[in-house]
Structure 1
Amino acid sequence: MNNKSPATGNLNQFDAEKGFVIPVGGARYSNRELSWLKFNERVLSEAENMNHPILERLRFLSISATNLDEFFMVRVAGLAVQLMQNVDVVSFDGRTPRQQLSEIEMASDALVVRQSNIWKSMREELANMNITVTSCKNLSKAHVEWLHGYFYGQIYPLLTPQALDPSHPFPFIANLGRCLLLDIEDDKARQIWQLILLPDSLARFVKLPGEEPIFVAVEHVIAHFAETIFPQYKVKDWGMFRLIRNSDIEFEEEAEDLVQYFKGAIKRRRRGDGIRLELTEQMGDKLRNFLIENVSMMPNASIDDLPFVGVCDLSEIVDLDLPIHKFSPFSPRFPERVREYDGDIFAAVKAKDILVHHPYESFDVVISFLEQAAADPKVVAIKQTLYRAGSQSRIIRALINAAEQGKSVTVVVEIKARFDEEQNLYWADALEKAGVQVVYGFVNMKTHAKISMVIRKEDEGIVTYCHFGTGNYHPITSKIYTDLSYFTANKDAASDAVQLFNYVTGYIKPHDLKLATFSPHNMREKLNSLIEREIANVEKGLPGEIWAKMNSLVDVGMIEKLYEASQKGVNISLVVRGICCLRPGVLGLSENIRVKSIVGRFLEHSRIWAFGNGAKLPHDKADVYISSADWMTRNLDRRVEYMLPMINPTVHMQILFQVLLANLLDNQQSWTLNNEGEYVRVQAVKKPFNLHQYFMDNPSLSGRGKALKKKSVPKLRQLSHDEGQDGWGI
């Protein structure tokens, strides 16, 4: 009998006492951090996908680097803190903080090397397309002369060289700070170290004039003219470096003023200990050692010598106005159903529930919902949650306008939204000044549910219109994130939404809910009961089936419940874009579970769950839910989230027979997760099917309206587990 924990063993045997199976050659669960790195590898693979235009591939390269920055700022830094504090907590997959950091270092090092190699290859490919990224020494005389004038007019005034000696100690470098370090020498061989901090306002690349784009990295421009910055000195060595700091904010439950606490915490974040240092590999050993000795770093921090520092900055080149090297332009549709009511969203929703599928259908309908509410004299109140709203938000202006016109406006602003804390504090201040009742929610929980309510006084009395979203009220991300917006005037949905707001604003625990389920109230229990019902159906000889789409699957309790369902014969198909700690296809454990990840033109972000309810999916009888929550412990136990059943037949059909089914059928942007925890790109066996292209080409069911009735929408026939590559084909 095996007495090891399910996270640590490598034996393929059943433990009757503990009731679990441990697969051969691996753990029962995949490590969360390593699973995230595998996700970022899939993102990086799109930079090598020759089916994408060159600038889109460059965008994926830049995104992978930005992702890695945030990973180090939060996840790696958190483990390093545990190590510093001698916290010996073992992760649920059986690794200590030290073991995790060691494996992360190997995986992230390989990822960084791969990024550098891809950029080297892509740079040559760009040059063949007359898009040049070069250094000053390769420029023509005319270009150097132009660059000289540009340098003195646009760059030099922003620079403040700082000598480094006993009377000028090494300065503080802010998080993500970019600097040049120079070793200069006068004619008497006297040596001085100089540091130049590059301001955030300074673009990373200088674009030279001319029809064909030529870019020079700003550090090369500064280095080229360095001897004019330091007259009578000669540059002996130079290099650029970039510092990433611990940026996680820990909030204290006893904080007396949450707003003031977070204002201070944001400032402290900028001064967190260094967790990763990038420096140019051209930097000589003497300069390199001086840098490392003078930058305060955490134990186990990474030091990377790179041919190009700050791969994330390549996004500046992506902004080139060269449509031929980008994805074909796409204009989101505005729901025809709303147009048929002359743009009156309230009339359209009152007639019938509407589901809007972003980014294929415009986010403008969500903004219009609030703008119309602000201008409508019949509207008496608006309630809104805001997790991330963006830097220039029409939604904020609509809420302010509504308050200024005398409407009762309540906004729950989540100031604990990571990396958006400062922006959200700014919006909260602006809203309060306009007379909006701003609520900050719980100290120890984030309000992550995306719900908007408009209360309208109509002839028959008060009517409440609700918007439930799977994404944020963010007009920029709505153009690239796939999410669902559900509009309804259903009284039960409105009653439940009121209870959620009362829970956040007044700590009144939800009770007697009609449709919705909320975490941390009882979402975990609801999900468990739905899975148990599928198990019971199998035991009765009925089909048992689950389809679920989410961003991350981490919670051990949910994983174990899915393992149990698999062992009882329930067929489970999961679309998990990012982290997945479940191990599918393991004999005796999870052979009835399949997991795929989709990475493509758009970022899959919606949370959708379907339970067969005694029928084989897809089926009209199935229970279908949308949600704001992933299956992570934080979402189920430490956040305010919602899940809502789709009871309108048209909306139900759109989500199940269009959205979910298309995700399962995609074989152009999909990866399958095998029982060893590795991802394999799906190859089209029969007919190629691109999920994103399908929705760009075809209108949705609930929003198409009468005007599009005659336009036939290709029907996605019922998925067969026996078809295609690993059962995912069509």
Structure 2
Amino acid sequence: MRRKPTTPPPIADRNAPELYLSRELAALEFNFRVLAQARDPQVPLLERLRYLSIVANNLDEFFEVRVAMLKHHHSYGSAAPGPDGVPSGELLTRIRKRVLDLAAEQYTTWQDELGPALDAEGIRFLTRDRWSARQLHWLQGYFENEVLPVLSPLGLDPVHPFPRILNKTLNIAVVLKGRDAFGREGHMALVRAPRSLPRIIRLPDEVCEPGDHYVFLAELLQGFVDLMFPGLKVAGSYQFRVTRNSELMVEEAEVANLASALSEELLGRGYARPVRLEIGNDCPKAIVTLLTTNFELEETDVYRCNGPVNIIRAGTIYERLDRPELKYPRFTPRLPRALETSKCTFEVLRQRDVLLHHPYESFAAVVELLRQATQDPNVLAIKQTLYRAGADTPLVDLLVEAARNGKDVTVVVELRARFDEEANIGLATRLQEAGVQVVYGVVGYKTHAKMLLIVRREDDVLRRYVHLSTGNYHQANSRAYTDIGLMTAQPEIGEDLHKVFLQLSGLGPIISLKRLLHSPFTLYKSVLEKIEREIAHAEAGRPARIVAKLNALNEAHVIEALYRASQAGVEIDLIVRGACTLRPGLPGISEHIRVRSIVGRFLEHSRVYWFANDGAAETYCASADWMERNLMRRIEVAFPILDPVLATRVYDETLANYLIDNTQAWLLDSDGHYVRAQPGEAAPHNAQQTLLEKLCLTKS
């Protein structure tokens, strides 16, 4: 019999700062792991460039949301420390230090690694010092004919005050000497690059050596800046870019129409309070001071760039270039075998549940289920949630068609899906115009659950068919994100989902569910109870284990429960892609907890909770991470995998497979540092590649 461990007393203070890592710093650390992909010579070259662009995009969002809100609360003295206990002022200082480290590594990667490697493959980003005479002639013509006519350079003087600068746009600060036609002494001017202009210009083949040659718009503007100010001497020109607070602040309880209120606030998002200034390395301090004064920023908000300030744009050539040898090998997702031979998905689901593991298995199965429901005269109602759907999703067309075919269609559209607000307002409008009943969810709670419910009449009986997923109904993401979907006709799950939709569209009381775990009501409580159950098993001398795969982990009470489970001897493995504020390996606290992060070809997005339960293991897939916002302030659903065969498959593919990855895994230590796993004497194991080879129909 397994020896019963000696259980230390529960942690007296679950908010003890030494037990937690900073959420913001943990989020930053994820970007170092992504940047390592850009630096890895084993990764195809254009994929490395894409990873570099992803880091830049992530950093933009980090400042637009996390830093912006932290600065906002700090300025009003309302920034209470998180569980790690770090005061907001000190945290902002630590964030700056790590961002400077990240930016330095980012531009070193661009200048010293990716640039030369791209050059060697005939893909060249040409700076002004590399333009040939023929290229200079062509670029000048392009500038005069395509760029200059849409520019409005602005000299700064009492009549022309500092203009409004749009969030994340390219700008050039120009220092001038001499007098213009009106006798005005030139000092400084600004050139704002309209968003209508391409940020990357491809030079024609006839003026270049063989290959693909590009010029950043910023280089073009600086190269011909003198043509914008005839008669004046340009003493210097400097790129800059400002990042603004992009968190919308609509108070839902105080507005009569959420869609209208969001639309109004979206108009001002691009000009909200600045939080970061990026500027070229060569910019004189006097210009920096002028800019920071105008934007009401501190010197600590300035980040100098050893290269293009909008380096994120370099990644746009990924889609332009047909260079398959410089990208990951193509693959074809397959349909689940259960659906390959049947023309009617409803018939299959009456006999068995179907599991979908994206991107290895095709999202087309979900589209086909909705298509059949749209055209089937026996289908009476369709209900679906849409959080992020994408501009080209066929699902919206099918929902419109279903409404026009006389089905009762209800769609819960989450208008507050960050950075998709405008798209979702347009989507909701289109659905409403087609006769779809559109619901915006619940005041104060984002609807983050991924749910589809189809009601079909069969032999005078109404049967419910369900699709539940860990990821959004977004076709493009289904090729780039890992997610788990379940298609089922199990009556109890269908009844539970029916109740959830009624609660979302109506004003009903708290509901009792048989199978689904439901945030903000039962999910949080259930997770804690299942952790406590494993603690009880361990204290009784029985084997006890928890394995969870998440995007992020920061909820203090869940972490405290995991610490107590570790103290009781429960073996805990956490696969956390992004920010994890739990410290593994603390003596006497978390010695039995291991945390790893997988960063590879696909963005890990599936959430899976597994509890050993003394041999009667429970497997849940969910839309929710173990974060405060998911467990407390969102509508989320965790769904059980009841079919033992499918439950084993979920465990094997999404948990066990990842726990033996020794090529794409990063191991978290108790100090918050990640170390990349190495195969050592073991055979290399790449979890994502293993699934590609196991599940995909073809690879080429």
User: After TM superposition, is the score higher than 0.5?
Assistant: yes
Please name the residue that 1:142 is paired with.
Answer: 134
How far did residue 649 of structure 1 move? Answer: 2.1
Please name the residue that 2:239 is paired with.
Answer: 240
Range moving further from structure 2, 225-234 or 162-171: 225-234
Percent of residue pairs identical:
38
How far did residue 541 of structure 1 move? Answer: 2.1
CA distance in 1: counterparts of 2:453 and 2:145, whole angstroms:
52
Please name the residue that 1:153 is paired with.
Answer: 145
Please name the residue that 1:3 is paired with.
Answer: none
Q: Is the 8 A contact 1:206 1:217 kept in 2?
A: yes
Please name the residue that 2:212 is paired with.
Answer: 213
Other structure's SS at 2:635 match: strand
Range moving further from structure 2, 479-488 or 347-356: 347-356
Is the counterpart of residue 664 in structure 1 residue 659 in structure 2? Answer: yes
- Matched ranges for 1:318-333 at <5 A: 318-319=318-319, 320-333=321-334
Is the counterpart of residue 126 in structure 1 residue 118 in structure 2? Answer: yes
Please name the residue that 1:338 is paired with.
Answer: 339
Please name the residue that 1:518 is paired with.
Answer: 518
**Which structure is richer in relative contact order (CA contacts within 8 A, separation 6 or more)?**
2
Aligned CA distance change for structure 1 residues 129 and 43 (closer, same or farther; 3 Å): same
Is the counterpart of residue 585 in structure 1 residue 585 in structure 2? Answer: yes
- Matched ranges for 1:304-703 at <5 A: 304-319=304-319, 320-342=321-343, 344-615=344-615, 621-685=616-680, 686-699=682-695
CA distance in 2: counterparts of 1:195 and 1:18, whole angstroms:
58
Letter in 1 for 2:136: V
How far did residue 200 of structure 1 move? Answer: 1.8
Other structure's SS at 2:19 match: coil
Q: Is the 8 A contact 1:363 1:475 kept in 2?
A: yes
Please name the residue that 1:718 is paired with.
Answer: none
Aligned CA distance change for structure 1 residues 180 and 27 (closer, same or farther; 3 Å): same
CA distance in 1: counterparts of 2:228 and 2:455, whole angstroms:
63
Please name the residue that 2:158 is paired with.
Answer: 166
Please name the residue that 2:82 is paired with.
Answer: 91
How far did residue 510 of structure 1 move? Answer: 4.4
Range moving further from structure 2, 687-696 or 121-130: 121-130
Other structure's SS at 1:435 match: coil
Match among 38, 43, 47 for residue 38 of structure 2 = 47
TM-score w.r.t. structure 1 length?
Answer: 0.90
How far did residue 299 of structure 1 move? Answer: 9.0
How far did residue 17 of structure 1 move? Answer: 9.5
Please tell me the root mean square deviation across aligned C-alpha atoms, in Å. Answer: 2.1
How far did residue 699 of structure 1 move? Answer: 2.3
Please name the residue that 1:268 is paired with.
Answer: 268
How far did residue 352 of structure 1 move? Answer: 1.3
Aligned CA distance change for structure 1 residues 694 and 411 (closer, same or farther; 3 Å): same
Aligned CA distance change for structure 1 residues 556 and 22 (closer, same or farther; 3 Å): closer
CA distance in 1: counterparts of 2:645 and 2:198, whole angstroms:
49
Is the counterpart of residue 19 in structure 1 residue 18 in structure 2? Answer: no
CA distance in 2: counterparts of 1:498 and 1:197, whole angstroms:
52
CA distance in 2: counterparts of 1:131 and 1:213, whole angstroms:
5
Q: Is the 8 A contact 2:179 2:186 kept in 1?
A: no
CA distance in 2: counterparts of 1:22 and 1:638, whole angstroms:
20
How far did residue 89 of structure 1 move? Answer: 1.4
- 1:187-215 CA-partner distances (Å, limit 9, x unpaired): 78932422221122322111112240111
CA distance in 1: counterparts of 2:614 and 2:282, whole angstroms:
65
CA distance in 2: counterparts of 1:453 and 1:384, whole angstroms:
6
How far did residue 21 of structure 1 move? Answer: 9.2
Other structure's SS at 1:485 match: strand
CA distance in 2: counterparts of 1:154 and 1:460, whole angstroms:
66
Letter in 2 for 1:236: A
Other structure's SS at 1:454 match: strand
Aligned CA distance change for structure 1 residues 278 and 655 (closer, same or farther; 3 Å): same
How far did residue 88 of structure 1 move? Answer: 4.8
Please name the residue that 2:92 is paired with.
Answer: 101
CA distance in 1: counterparts of 2:218 and 2:233, whole angstroms:
17
Q: Is the 8 A contact 2:14 2:556 kept in 1?
A: no
Is the counterpart of residue 28 in structure 1 residue 19 in structure 2? Answer: yes
- 1:455-487 CA-partner distances (Å, limit 9, x unpaired): 112235212111001001111111110001110
Other structure's SS at 2:165 match: coil
Letter in 1 for 2:121: M
Please name the residue that 2:289 is paired with.
Answer: 289
Aligned CA distance change for structure 1 residues 525 and 73 (closer, same or farther; 3 Å): same
How far did residue 15 of structure 1 move? Answer: 11
Letter in 1 for 2:585: G
Aligned CA distance change for structure 1 residues 280 and 349 (closer, same or farther; 3 Å): same
Other structure's SS at 1:614 match: helix
How far did residue 131 of structure 1 move? Answer: 1.5
CA distance in 1: counterparts of 2:229 and 2:250, whole angstroms:
46
CA distance in 1: counterparts of 2:392 and 2:10, whole angstroms:
57
**When the two structures are aligned, how many residues end up with a matched partner?**
681
Letter in 2 for 1:333: R
CA distance in 2: counterparts of 1:88 and 1:16, whole angstroms:
32
Please name the residue that 1:75 is paired with.
Answer: 66
Letter in 2 for 1:131: I
CA distance in 1: counterparts of 2:11 and 2:463, whole angstroms:
53
How far did residue 42 of structure 1 move? Answer: 0.8
Gaps of 5+ in 1: 1-13, 616-620, 709-730
- 1:142-180 CA-partner distances (Å, limit 9, x unpaired): 222222332233322322222221101111111112111
CA distance in 1: counterparts of 2:572 and 2:553, whole angstroms:
14
CA distance in 2: counterparts of 1:250 and 1:229, whole angstroms:
39
Other structure's SS at 1:589 match: coil
Q: Is the 8 A contact 1:21 1:588 kept in 2?
A: no
TM-score w.r.t. structure 2 length?
Answer: 0.94
How far did residue 574 of structure 1 move? Answer: 0.5
CA distance in 2: counterparts of 1:527 and 1:419, whole angstroms:
30
Q: Is the 8 A contact 1:282 1:307 kept in 2?
A: no
Please name the residue that 2:225 is paired with.
Answer: 226
Other structure's SS at 1:242 match: strand
Other structure's SS at 1:60 match: helix
Letter in 2 for 1:141: A
How far did residue 16 of structure 1 move? Answer: 7.0
Please name the residue that 1:198 is paired with.
Answer: 193
How far did residue 254 of structure 1 move? Answer: 2.5
Other structure's SS at 2:195 match: coil
